[in-house]
Homo-oligomer: A and B are copies of this chain.
Amino acid sequence: MRIGIVAPSCPLRREAAERVTAQAAALGAELVIHPQCFLEDGHFAGPDEVRLTALREMMADPGIDAVWFARGGYGSNRIAVKAMRDLPAEAAKKTYLGYSDGGFLLAALHKAGLRVAHGPMVQDVLRDGGEKATERALKWLVHADPSALEPMLDGPAFAFNLVVLSSLMGTPLEPDMAEAELLIEELDEELYRVDRFLFHVSSQPGFAQLRQVRLGRVALKDNDRPFGRELEEVVRHWCARAGVPFAGRADIGHDAANRVVPFPLRHAGAALS
């Protein structure tokens, strides 16, 4: 199995690439790391066109079985709409894995009918205990190991970083999640912002069609003043207001324990509306 690595957001660190290459080899897989991963253009791993071209090369390459996003940060939204246009036939034969800022691409490629999953990325190996995250992702990509999956999945499910999901709402990339469950996670936001993003996401007409919501891990920044409500209370508030059941916690987040959530396969060829 050959796994293509591209960086649609921020640059990959070489140390992470080397360590995960060795992990993949031990599982009998080969990482094909696009040199674009190490480019730097301000915030991004190269200019928009260069990141897009690298992604599309991997999507079109018949020698690549899966495309794994190197890391998040910010920037995949800048290429997501173009990434789903004029898809090469080879693109539909691969699996795409990532999360965090990579959620923009998960949404876009899923909307284009491709097989995507929310899960650990290459640079997660640098987290505390992060080898477990990348090994889990590799076992899922290489062996479809079910132990990599979020353990409570029992039907169609989507998983997103809350801010990314908020940024998808109303755009051509907004996912159709009717009848599915939604898992959300967040990093480095104050609770008042989490409340505002939940207001935004739960006020969308599509949110009311969810089967249920579960809450992954949320690493909060301190509020400038005590918010006066706990995180879970806030999530329950907005779910209740939208009439969507809150079904407890989910085993996803910006950490080594982050599990894989494959999105439901959409009818291939379903076009960007």
Contact = CB atoms under 8 A, between A and B. Distances in A.
Interface size class of A (residues with CB under 8 A): 35 or more
Question: Can you tell how many copies of this chain the complex includes?
Answer: 2
Interface string A217-256: 0000001011111000000000000000000000000000
Contact of A167 (B74, B77, B172, B199): B199
Contact of A225 (B43, B77, B228, B229): B43
Interface in A177-201: 192, 195-197, 199-200
Q: Which of A166, A173, A196, A227 has the most CB of B within 10 A?
A: A196
Contacts of A209: none
Given A167-B199, A170-B169, A200-B171, A43 B74 contact: no
Interface in A1-59: 10, 41-44
Contacts of A166: 166-167, 200
Most chain B C-beta atoms within 10 Å of own C-beta, residue among A170, A197, A205: A170
B78 A225 contact: no
A147 interface: no
Contact of A203 (B10, B171, B225, B228): B171
Contacts of A167: 166, 196-197, 199-200
A10 B195 CA distance: 14
Contacts of A168: 200
Contacts of A203: 81, 170-173
A144 to B, nearest CB: 33
B171 A204 contact: yes
Given A171-B203, A203-B170, A204-B170, A42 B196 contact: no
A203 B41 CA distance: 24
Given A77-B199, A199-B78, A225 B42 contact: yes
Interface-centre pick from A173, A203, A205 (highest chain B CB count, 10 A):
A203
Interface string A156-170: 000000010011111
Closest 3 CB pairs of A and B: A42-B228, A170-B170, A171-B203
Given A42-B229, A170-B203, 8 more contacts: A42-B226, A43-B226, A74-B196, A77-B196, A166-B167, A166-B200, A167-B196, A170-B205
